[in-house]
Amino acid sequence: MAQTVRMAVFGQRDFAAGFFDDLAAIGTDPAGGITRDTYGPGENRGHEVMARAAEASGLGLSVDAAGNTYARWTAADDLRTVMMGSHLDSVPRGGNFDGAAGALAGLVAIRALRALDARPRINLCAMGIRAEESVWFQTSYVGSRAALGTLPVETYDTARRIDTGRTLADHMAACGCDVEALRNGARPLDPATLEAYIELHIEQAPSLVEEGRSIGICTGIPGNFRYPDAKIVGRHGHVGTPHRFRHDAAIAGAEIATEMEKLWTAREAEGTPLAVTFGRFHTDAAFHGLTTVPGLFHFSIDVRAYDEKTLAEIEQEFLRIVARAEANHSVRVELGSRKSAPVGPVDPDLRGGLVAAARALGTGFIDLGSPASHDAAAFAAAGVPMAMLFIRNENGSHNPLEAMEIDDFLEGCAVLTEFLYRKYCR
């Protein structure tokens, strides 16, 4: 039966290629790459593409109060649902496959099962999720957490889009979302009604390319802590100022970054996977210059790890590093708002089912920890069993050169479909 499933999935090639072509056509940025801005025209049009694909597939279409799109194959109203999905927004000038591949995979799997005349004993749903890319509002998993009722209510008014300065509530309302309903406790997705959440995603570092495999089966999603708007306040001074009189904000920033790099290297040598990123790291353009000691420095930091204990330990060490830099350089560090996301544990039964499906198909795969955060972690935090599949992608993600091949994508969809057929169909 496994090879029949593969044939049914690969029979969706034209449908899948057309979906990606439609997304590229509406997301192409004149400055290069793909931009589907969160709660803006780009993301809106991405959801329109998914809605058209769902309707063309004969599936029940709905949109929730947060703007998430659902394409449902309902076996019976009183049954639980397996949710498959990912996001349709992108980073500025990114690629066409990050997120979108997961939203499409659910549609492909359902279409293949219908082509096989499968009879599911559970409801199946493909979900196009809003606002996963935290670069826009500097907040993780907005769409999925809003649907699950786990997004802190103050976020609607405190989170602002980095380019417009307008609040999340304002952007959502402009996209037709019912922000008041969400503020008042509406929860479009009740975790108790969800059997599982499964997300397919391109890999975000070329581990599969290195191993010569098309598929990775996820072992876990890292949690994180973030300080997106930290700054170091010192004192601007003349370039000839002796060291003992300086309050050099840039050198303090360099010390913090260097010490965190040392910490990361030491932890990895001990066998603890970790990632530390200073995404913004710069002096103030209004004051900096060749002959000025910098009195103001800006940075952001994102730290990721696969267990909460490690995250807590690293954050405490980071705060100690900050305190030492303040003392060493006579500066003040203002960390600003703190953001975080929980670790996403993969459900062992779901993962085992995906492994069995891949083996039945003869699909080569490796175990792969996610280097990035995903909506799957929000579902796990809400108590929904989750699993993920990764697809080979040579050039990483969040850049215009994302290089997923359609055959690799369809192979991942075949593993997903074989799993659904084995576990949830009569």
In this prediction, residue 342 has a pLDDT band, given cuts at 50, 70 and 90, of: confident
CB 148 within 8 A of CB 130: no
Q: And the tokens for 194? A: 């969800």
Q: CA-to-CA distance for 229 and 210, rounded, in angstroms?
A: 35
Q: What would the mean pLDDT of 351-365 be, rounded to a whole number?
A: 97
Closest by Cα among 220, 213, 215 to 202 = 215
Q: What would the mean pLDDT of 216-237 be, rounded to a whole number?
A: 95
Whole-number pLDDT of residue 12: 98
* Sequential DSSP letters for 153-183: TTHHHH-B-TTT--BHHHHHHHTT--HHHHH
Whole-number pLDDT of residue 398: 86
Task: Write down the mean pLDDT value for the chain.
Answer: 96
The separation between CA 332 and the C-alpha centre of its own chain, rounded to angstroms, equals: 33
Tell me how far CA of residue 307 lies from CA of 169, 186, 314, 346, 366, in angstroms. 32, 31, 11, 12, 21
> In this model, does residue 341 exceed pLDDT 90?
no
> In this model, does residue 97 exceed pLDDT 80?
yes
> In this model, does residue 281 exceed pLDDT 80?
yes
Tell me how far CA of residue 338 lies from CA of 152, 230, 316, in angstroms. 14, 9, 13
> In this model, does residue 372 exceed pLDDT 90?
no
Whole-number pLDDT of residue 411: 98
Closest by Cα among 414, 412, 416 to 202 = 412
Low-confidence winner among 119-128, 233-242, 300-309, 368-377 (lowest mean pLDDT): 368-377
Q: CA-to-CA distance for 366 and 354, rounded, in angstroms?
A: 12
The separation between CA 158 and the C-alpha centre of its own chain, rounded to angstroms, equals: 21
Q: CA-to-CA distance for 164 and 171, rounded, in angstroms?
A: 10
Look at strands 215-218 and 386-391 and give their pairing: antiparallel
Site of tokens 């700054």: 231
> In this model, does residue 227 exceed pLDDT 80?
yes
Q: CA-to-CA distance for 162 and 137, rounded, in angstroms?
A: 6
Q: What would the mean pLDDT of 337-348 be, rounded to a whole number?
A: 91
> In this model, does residue 135 exceed pLDDT 80?
yes
Q: CA-to-CA distance for 276 and 302, rounded, in angstroms?
A: 6
In this prediction, residue 332 has a pLDDT band, given cuts at 50, 70 and 90, of: very high
Q: CA-to-CA distance for 349 and 9, rounded, in angstroms?
A: 24
> In this model, does residue 277 exceed pLDDT 80?
yes
In this prediction, residue 101 has a pLDDT band, given cuts at 50, 70 and 90, of: very high
Q: What would the mean pLDDT of 82-86 be, rounded to a whole number?
A: 98
In this prediction, residue 216 has a pLDDT band, given cuts at 50, 70 and 90, of: very high
pLDDT tens per residue across span 235-272: 999 999 999 999 999 999 999 999 999 999 999 999 99
Q: Report the share of the chain in percent with pLDDT over 70.
A: 100
Q: What would the mean pLDDT of 212-220 be, rounded to a whole number?
A: 95
CB 206 within 8 A of CB 358: no
Q: And the tokens for 18? A: 């057309």
Look at strands 296-305 and 281-283 and give their pairing: antiparallel
Q: What would the mean pLDDT of 204-211 be, rounded to a whole number?
A: 92
Whole-number pLDDT of residue 345: 92
Whole-number pLDDT of residue 413: 98
In this prediction, residue 112 has a pLDDT band, given cuts at 50, 70 and 90, of: very high
pLDDT tens per residue across span 159-184: 999 999 999 999 999 999 999 999 99
In this prediction, residue 395 has a pLDDT band, given cuts at 50, 70 and 90, of: confident
Tell me how far CA of residue 279 lies from CA of 120, 123, 135, 276, 303, in angstroms. 45, 41, 10, 9, 11
> In this model, does residue 27 exceed pLDDT 80?
yes
In this prediction, residue 205 has a pLDDT band, given cuts at 50, 70 and 90, of: confident
Name beta bridge partners: 230.
299
Whole-number pLDDT of residue 1: 77
For residue 98, how many C-alpha atoms fall within 13 Å in the half-sphere facing its CB? Answer: 30
Q: Nearest 5°: CA angle at 197, between 191 and 199? A: 145
- For residue 204, what is the DSSP state? S
The pTM of this model reads 0.86
In this prediction, residue 397 has a pLDDT band, given cuts at 50, 70 and 90, of: confident
